[in-house]
Amino acid sequence: MKTYNIYQVDSFTKNRFCGNPAGVVLNADGLSEEQMQQIARELNNSETAFILSPNSSHYDIEVRFFTPTKEVPICGHATIAAHYIRALETGKIGRVLQKTKAGILPVDITQENDDFNITMTQGTPQVEKPLDTPTAKRILEALGIHLQNMREDCPIAIASTGHSKVMIGIKDNQLLNSLKPNLESLSTLSAEIHCNGYYVFTLDFNTEPLVRGRMFAPAAGVAEDPVTGNANGALGAYLVYYRIAKHLETKNNLSFAILQGEAIKRMGGMRVNVEIKDKKPTLVQIIGQAVVCFKTEICI
């Protein structure tokens, strides 16, 4: 029997019961993959992070991420949560190299006013060509969005910084917050397009935040994710790739704020930074905060 410390952390917020909840198992060495999956199912967050000791000198820690139903390669809000807990427990700041199923990625921890900011460098940006018209129409139908509500400058396309999402840009925040998608249809489509997340967003170039969004991933067991690091990082790559926010770029960089979770009353936000070379995204970072909701122990 071993005692494992488990935390419930709200990421991308400093207010409990807001932002995106993630489980964190700080000392996960010794847990089997089946036990990790069982703990993730029991906590029933969209993702739970399991922190493991390194097996190589090439990285500092290993982190595995599980939804209630499956393991996923990377998770933004659970990464923020995991490193926030490590910082609280150890007081260490600086750069940490974490091994994930999406590769070895740096995370930077800085201290501010006796608290911590977490900067996650995401995986290699990849943006695909627009989805074919029949598939795009089926996605819009499943989401309950009419073609006239779409932004003309935002093609429906898959983007990824480690965990792919479909990008769907619409014109109106009222529509965004009233969406009631057909989750079964979205799950069926996910199996066909090999992408389990749909990020619907609006853009307001005249104020902060630039982005308001909602993210649905029923095929991964997540009807709606409150505040999604992987979706917003991928959105940053997408905005640069399709030159949608080129007038906001400065010195080969695009930086913007997002707000998500408003429709389900778990509002939170983050900042997204995209480095650009030859008009293409080369590196994406998300910056967020977190707060501990509760801590417990389990003996297995």
Helix axis angle for 76-90 and 229-241, nearest 10°, is 120
User: Pick from 120, 40, 38: which is nearest to 289 by CA?
Assistant: 120
Q: How far apart are CA 203 and CA 206, in angstroms?
A: 9
Task: Report which of 139, 151, 158 is spatially closest to residue 238, judged by C-alpha positions.
Answer: 158
* pLDDT at residue 135, rounded to an integer: 98
Q: Is 47 annotated as catalytic? A: yes
**Tens digit of pLDDT per residue, the chain (300 long)?**
999 999 999 999 999 999 999 999 999 999 999 999 999 999 999 899 999 999 999 999 999 999 998 999 999 999 999 999 999 999 999 999 999 998 999 999 999 888 999 999 999 999 999 999 999 999 999 999 999 999 999 999 999 998 899 999 999 999 999 999 999 999 999 999 999 999 999 999 999 999 999 999 999 888 999 999 999 999 999 999 999 999 999 989 999 999 999 999 999 999 999 999 999 999 999 999 999 999 999 999
Query: Which pLDDT belongs to residue 17?
Result: 97
Longest dimension (CA), the chain: 59
* Cβ proximity of 84 and 78 under 8 Å: no
Instruction: Given the residues 34, 47, 71, 192, select the one marked as catalytic.
Output: 47
pTM: 0.91
CA 224 – CA 260 distance, rounded (Å): 11
pLDDT at 97: 97
So what's the pLDDT on residue 222?
A: 87
Tell me the three-class secondary structure of 256-281, residue by residue. Answer: EEEEECHHHCCCEEEEEEEEEECCEE
> How many Cβ atoms are within 10 Å of 2's Cβ, its own excluded?
10
Determine the straight-line distance between the first and last CA of the chain, rounded to whole angstroms. 5
> What local confidence, expressed as pLDDT, does residue 220 receive?
86
